[in-house]
Each structure stands twice: as C-alpha cells, then as structure tokens.
Amino acid sequence: ICSLVPSPKGFPELKNDAFLRAARGEETEHTPVWCMRQAGRYLPEFRETRAAQDFFATCRSPKLCCELTLQPLRRFPLDAAIIFSDILVVPQALGMEVVMVPGKGPTFTEPLKEVEDLLKLRQKVDVTAELGYVFQAITLTRHCLEGRVPLIGFSGAPWTLMSYMIEGGGSTTMAKAKSWLYRHPEASHRLLRLLTDVVTDYLVGQVAAGAQALQLFESHAGHLGPEQFQDFALPYIRDIAQAVKSKLKEEALPLVPMIIFAKDAHYALRDLARAGYEVVGLDWTVRPQEARAQTGKDVTLQGNLDPCALYAPKEKIGELVKKMLEGFGTRRYIANLGHGLYPDMDPEHVGAFVEAVHAHSRHINKQ
C-alpha cells in the first residue's frame, strides 16, 4: 500500500487515541507526548533519506514525506505523528520562489519589497492544484501508520508567513516585516487576509486527506508587542479557527482538534485560550502554573520542556519531566518540547524524554 497513493477512505482503525482524547479534555491513562521536529536531522536515518535530495523536492514527494514522518515512530513510543512538510509551501503556492540554501536556511529569491509587489501574488489559490502533494503525503502516511497513532497536519500562521515573505528568510529582528505593519497597515492587512484564506483552505484540505488534528504555527509571535499582536496576528488566528470549523461542517468532514502555538506570546495567552482552539501550545519560557491560570480550565495545554534540557544526562531529563508534569497536572495536557528538536541532539535522549512522560504520568494517575 505504501508504494502508491491510496484514496483518503477506508483508513485503518486508530489503536492509540490518547493524544486526541487529551486534546478534547478527556481522561487518559498516560499523558500523551510528541515532539515538534520529531522527524528531523537528529536522526541518522533522516539524514540518509534526505542526503541526495533538495529540501523542497523532498516536501513534494509523498513517498519521502511518509517515510520521514514514520521514522521517529519506529524508534520511540510517541502518541502522535506530524506530517513532514514545511510552512513555506504556502508562499510557494502564492507564486513565490523559495530555495533552501545550505548553511543559511530558506531563502526567497524575490521577497516582497514594495506594496506593489502584492500584485505579483496569486490572488486565488487552488490549494489542491498547488499543494496536492501535501494532501497525498497525508493520505499515504495515514494508511501506512496502520492506526498506530493520530496524524497531525499543520500550517504557518499568517503573520509568520508574511514575515518570511518580506524578510526573504530568517531574521533576528524582523525589522523589514514589522516596518510594513507601521508604514503600510492597509497593505499588511490585505496580505494577511489573503494568507488567512489560503491557510484555511489548506487546513481543510489536510483534514479531507486524512489529518486527525491541526497545528497552526505562529512561530514569529515573539517579534510583535501586545498591540501589534492584537492588530495583526490574533484576528487572523481567530478567523482561521472559525473558518476551518465551519468549512469542515459544510463539507461533512470530521471536526478535528486544533492547536495554536504562538511562540513567545505570553502576553496573549488569555486571548489565545479564547481564540477557538482546543489546545494552546506553549514555549519553554512560561511556567506551567502561570499558563494554567491564564488559560483557564476549558483548553488543553501542550508543551513545554526547554529543548536544550535534552542535552542533560538521562536521569536529569526524567527529573525535569516529572517536575513539568506536576506543574501542568495530567488532565487536559499534552507533553511536548517548548520548540523543535535541534539537529545535534542524541536520539537516545529523545527516547528518555518520551519514556519519562509515560512512566511519570502513569505513576501520578495511579496516585
């Protein structure tokens, strides 16, 4: 089955639904755990699979995406898989060229410089035509998972995508993108609205293809202050949750849990908890008790061990996990890192993290 792309029907029955139950606020025997960037360069088999391939060519191969998504699950008893892809496939769907430059990262050959450049973007995007390869990867992976764990689909959020499209790549200040917010507020909103519409269709398409949960990455939230976040990020984050849910209903597709991860946006936790998402993801700079107080009892929290904690000896990782679980409690909680895994991490330490979450949460639940 894993050599041809099957149809998004007749998926194998799900055997481990702990992640979905926790997302919905139901009880679980153990705290579910997965890691952002769990399919990544820290795995030797990942480096081997990717060795000869251009990064975005890999993203466009359903077979390779499926293989990379499954790799961490062969090693660790994770409770969810996340499709291997990249947030920058959305700007590509809008007609922008993005290449992966070794040692530098993703680079836009022609970033947006002037307001007039918005006219170069596709104003109507057929997501199946432009991003169908992601849908195929999801369908294939969902079949090849054989019901072991749920599959998460994802997208970048509008502000994060906009910031890349203007900066032309990574940036420590996001000054070019932020200057648009101050100098060209109307054009900024136009671009953010266009991105919101594409992201909405893209996420709905992922569910139609077989994704069982969705995560929205507002990775550059920390570059905005509270006021800019209120104006240029939060409204679109809210709109996406609302529009995705109503389209899923219209198309008689399953209403899957949605996760919002806005990195470094502590000032917005209260608003994010009311933005229409079942789960709020946290970075490592927030205390569990504080996050719980800000977000209330009606959302599930996800996070938030400092990824660098995985450089610690294994016993220490166990202690840190125990402390994290005691801080969050085991109800309405999904364990994760506060950001993605780094390329030089030891896979055995990732395994120690996953096992510690399962062992300590089972112990806490028994008490």
Contact yes or no for 75/69 (Cβ under 8 A):
no
CA angle 191–242–112, rounded 5-degree value: 10
Query: Which residues are annotated as catalytic?
Result: 37, 41, 50, 86, 164
Contact yes or no for 198/125 (Cβ under 8 A):
yes
Q: At what angle do helices 158-167 and 234-250 cross, to 10 degrees?
A: 120
Residue 277's CB is within 10 A of a number of other CB atoms, namely: 24
Exposed e or buried b per residue across 99-132, where buried means at least 16 C-beta atoms within 10 angstroms of its C-beta: ebeeeeebbbeebbeeeebbeebeeebebeebbb
Location of structure tokens 């139609």: 208
Residue 282 to residue 139: CA distance in whole angstroms: 29
Q: Which two tokens stand for residue 301?
A: 């929290």
Residue 282 to residue 272: CA distance in whole angstroms: 11
Question: H-helix or E-strand containing 300?
Answer: strand 300-305
SS3 254: coil
Question: H-helix or E-strand containing 213?
Answer: strand 213-218
